[in-house]
């Protein structure tokens, strides 16, 4: 059984882009039920089928499998809830720990979220200067939620 322990933060500037190159991701969801999220993802020239289930606010069971890119394309087109998430993903190391920054495109443009995966819920880590407010417990920032209520609609509601 695979466990994912993750914390998420809003990104406050683009310093994370120094010396790293983003990879284009396209992903969609076959199921967005919090107890059984099923995601299809194309990351560069690879594709994955991922199944997640909520354990706690920051911990999930996660199972991920390589699949043929051609299968992923067909699943995104024919099986996944619309809309499809598109984003650039940046991976960088801060004080020996891997951080992932997602810069969203399309209906989620303007949203940039950083995450760090931890070995335990109480593992200490150094928060980079470009990481702002923590949004770990806010379900709006889950990619599966961005499919149903894209970021552009949040901004329209706040006007």
Rounded to whole angstroms, the Cα distance separating 124 from 44 reads 31
Q: Would you state the structure tokens that stand for residue 117, as one six-digit string?
A: 């995966």
β 112-118/97-104 pair status: antiparallel
CB 88 within 8 A of CB 102: yes
The rounded distance, in Å, linking the Cα atoms of 141 and 146 is 7
The residue annotated as part of the active site, out of 16, 25, 29, 90, is 29
Strand runs labelled E in the chain: 3-11, 23-33, 36-43, 46-54, 59-67, 81-94, 97-104, 112-118, 131-134
Tokens of 48: 């994955």
CA dist 100 and 115 (Å) reads: 5
29 is catalytic: yes
Residues with a known catalytic role:
29
């Amino acid at each position: 059984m695979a466990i994912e322990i993750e914390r998420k933060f809003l990104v406050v500037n683009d310093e994370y882009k120094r010396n790293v190159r983003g990879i284009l991701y396209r992903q969609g969801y076959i199921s967005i039920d919090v107890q059984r999220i099923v995601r299809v993802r194309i990351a560069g020239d690879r594709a994955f089928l991922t199944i997640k289930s909520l354990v706690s606010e920051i911990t999930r069971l996660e199972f991920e499998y390589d699949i043929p890119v051609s299968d992923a394309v067909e699943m995104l087109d024919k099986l996944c809830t619309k809309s499809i998430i598109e984003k650039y993903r940046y991976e960088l190391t801060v004080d020996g720990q891997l951080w992932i920054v997602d810069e969203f495109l399309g209906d989620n443009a303007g949203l940039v979220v950083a995450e760090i995966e931890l070995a335990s819920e109480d593992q200490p880590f150094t928060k980079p200067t470009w990481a702002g407010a923590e949004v770990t417990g806010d379900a709006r920032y889950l990619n599966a939620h961005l499919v149903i209520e894209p970021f552009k609609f949040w901004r329209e509601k706040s006007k």
